[in-house]
Amino acid sequence: MKTRVRAFVPLIGGLLALGAPASAHHGDAAYSAKAMEMKSCVVTEFSWMNPHSLIKFDYKTQAGEVQHWTMEIGSPPSMALLGWSRTTLRAGDVITAFVYQAKSGVLVGRTNKVILADGTVLADRDDSTPSRYGTETPQK
Amino acid sequence: MRQAFIGAMAALTAALVVSSLAVAQTAQSQNKQARSPWVYYPLDTIVGDGGPAPKRDLSGTWAGPGSTDAIPRGAPAEKPSFTSLGQQTMSQRKPIGRFGPAGTNDPTARYCDPLGFPLNFIYQNRAMSVATMPNRIVFLLQFGGFWREVWTDGRALPTKVGGEDRDSLDPTYMGYSVGHWEDDYNFVVDTTGLDERTWVLRDGTPHSVMAHVQERFTRVDHNTMKVSMTLDDPKMFTKSFSLGTYYYRWIPNQKINEWLCVPSETLKYLQEQGDPAGSYPDAQPQRLGGGGRGR
């Protein structure tokens, strides 16, 4: 599975670079539009839940301060379509997190993507399917 | 000799028809992992039409809008024309798409309240089962684990719901529904008695208890079902309007997974993520994440 996902890394990366259209399910106006990269984050909790799953992790700044972050991804049915599962992350896992931080300045954010220790990239979004619906319309 | 040739051709044609039907009902799997009969795999989508629609039968388990891109595009709801009461009620609504989890007063987003009908057939109905009983058809919804009864025994819709009279029925989240087969492939459902706490659309569009929703379920073929919905509510709208058209496709293994709105999880999400992030209703809308397809 991870091998298959890895094969889509360039595609996902390219798609993420395309930017965000002006539509939102939960309204992402609370978050910065520019993702920040945080390396060597240590996962402390992964809650696979509704309405949105949460990833908690510790991040050590260059000044040596350990920050406790929470970032959300989509609902389990949505994220399962992108390769996520209940067992994707465990406490102690080391990841690189790309996060849109809340404008309020608190340490919460919307996930852009995470890179697991083995290089697997998991995105929070699939821009290859911009519509809720497909394009086929059967005739009757 | 000629008869033998014709017989052989007929047998070949029959074999081709049978094999094409078999192919038409085969799932299209997007990966080769082992499959469990206990799991719903939304990416395993059905291929083809599966043959002609069965008569007067919607029974089965169906993938709905947003489950994958294999679901055909329907039509969105029309923009309603509000009465003064409708406009006034609408002005008090703070939809999550603009206000975010922290600022919305959407009862489902904040408290896990049921979406109720008709919103639960418009939003997040990614999968459902339909079961036919002798006197009703029952819709079993994945999101929230709710069910809805549509009576087919010829009874009339109630005329008094939510009023002060002693014989007035209670409003309900699913309403009161009756249905009939207009022909072999079209099932028409009328519903009223809807709890006014529910929103008709995600933008907060309101309704009164005696709003009338009419649905037309069309069994297009074995693998496809189409649902068109209209709403009539003179208290809130100056004219009836379409709630949209939605397609459903047969799920290959006929299994759907549990997907609930759990109050303790919603509370956790709001306390640890949604509320701290804040509300910015006047900011430019943007979509940063949330997954693929139906999100």
Q: Which CATH number covers residue A58?
A: 2.40.50.140
Q: What is the pLDDT of residues A25-34, one digit of tens each?
A: 566 889 999 9
Q: Would you say residue B221 has pLDDT above 60?
A: yes
Between positions 237 and 276 of B, the ones with CB within 8 A of A are: 247, 257, 259-262, 265-266, 268-269, 272-274, 276
Q: How confident is the model at residue A126 (pLDDT cuts 50, 70, 90)?
A: low
Task: Establish if A94 belongs to a structural domain.
Answer: yes
Task: Establish if A101 belongs to a structural domain.
Answer: yes
Number of structural domains in chain A? 1
% of chain B surpassing 70 pLDDT: 87
Q: CA B142, CA A107: separation in Å to the nearest integer? A: 34
Residue of B nearest to A70 (CA): B273
Span of B8-17, B193-202, B207-216, B230-239 with lowest mean pLDDT: B8-17
Domain interval for residue A68? 2-15+33-123
The confidence score (pLDDT) of residue B68 equals 87
Among B67, B101, B290, beta carbon nearest to A74 = B290
Q: How many CB pairs under 8 A join A and B?
A: 207
Q: CA B20, CA B16: separation in Å to the nearest integer? A: 6
Q: Give the residue-averaged pLDDT of B47-63.
A: 97
ipTM tops the 0.95 cut: no
Structural domain boundaries of chain B? 60-275
Q: What is the pLDDT of residues B244-292, one digit of tens each?
A: 999 999 999 999 999 999 999 999 999 999 999 999 999 987 778 766 5
Cβ–Cβ under 8 Å, residues B280 and A103:
yes
pTM of the model: 0.84
Q: Which residue in B143, B249, B284, B287 has the most chain A C-beta atoms within 10 A of its own C-beta, making it the best mutation to test that interface? A: B287
The confidence score (pLDDT) of residue B16 equals 41
The confidence score (pLDDT) of residue B66 equals 86
The confidence score (pLDDT) of residue B220 equals 98
The confidence score (pLDDT) of residue A16 equals 36
Q: CA B120, CA B259: separation in Å to the nearest integer? A: 13
DSSP states along B230-279? EEE-TTTBSS-EEEEEEEEEE-TT-----B---HHHHHHHIIIIIHHH--
Contact (CB<8Å) A47/B268? yes
Contact (CB<8Å) A112/B43? no
Q: How confident is the model at residue B132 (pLDDT cuts 50, 70, 90)?
A: very high
